[in-house]
Amino acid sequence: MAKEKTLDDLFLDTLKDIYYAERKILKTLPKMQRAAQSDKLKEAFGKHRDETEGQIERLQQVFELLGKPARGKTCDAIEGIVAEGEEIMDEFKGTAALDAGLISSAQAVEHYEMTRYGTLKRWAEELGMKEAADLFAQTLAEEEKTDADLTKLADAGVNERAKGKKAA
């Protein structure tokens, strides 16, 4: 019979998944920052890169609370989302639609993170890990704020510019 697995195992697995994903995101945000045309979008990516460093530290704190080494587990989902973002950077380079495409890619990342942190926060509560739940809640709030800020940038001209010369 297969070894019994419980919520503790799921929790650790998911923690490793998002730890891998955050480190991938930390490497990807500077590329997006360089690629962005608008200064405000560059600034937004830079700000979130710095926040991501803090988020990785929070994850390391949770590993510590569990008494486990901080170790990632390949996250195919983030690999796929980032690969699609790189495709956009490539295929829309130098075009009016690039920044709108970068925002859409970044929002796919934020939403992936939001599902992970939402689940981890809930599971931490179920497992009586209040400190971990608080750490996840802080990061979740940053991801939600980043997502909302990106929507504001899209609405404040990026989507309009992406329509091309005819819209100008």
DSSP character at residue 96: T
Alpha carbon 136 to its chain centroid, in Å, reads 13
Measured between alpha carbons, how far is 107 from 129 in angstroms, rounded to an integer? 29
| Closer of 71 and 93 to Fe ion (Cβ) | 71
The contact set with Fe ion (CB under 5 A) reads 55, 110, 113, 143
Question: Minimum Å distance from CB 82 to Fe ion?
Answer: 12
Alpha helices in the chain (DSSP H): 7-35, 39-66, 76-91, 98-126, 130-153, 159-162
| Closer of 74 and 115 to Fe ion (Cβ) | 115
Question: Minimum Å distance from CB 84 to Fe ion?
Answer: 16
Question: Minimum Å distance from CB 21 to Fe ion?
Answer: 8
Measured between alpha carbons, how far is 63 from 92 in angstroms, rounded to an integer? 39
| Closer of 96 and 104 to Fe ion (Cβ) | 104
Backbone angles phi, psi at 21, to 5 degrees: -60, -45
| Closer of 59 and 162 to Fe ion (Cβ) | 59
Question: Minimum Å distance from CB 110 to Fe ion?
Answer: 5
Measured between alpha carbons, how far is 53 from 22 in angstroms, rounded to an integer? 8
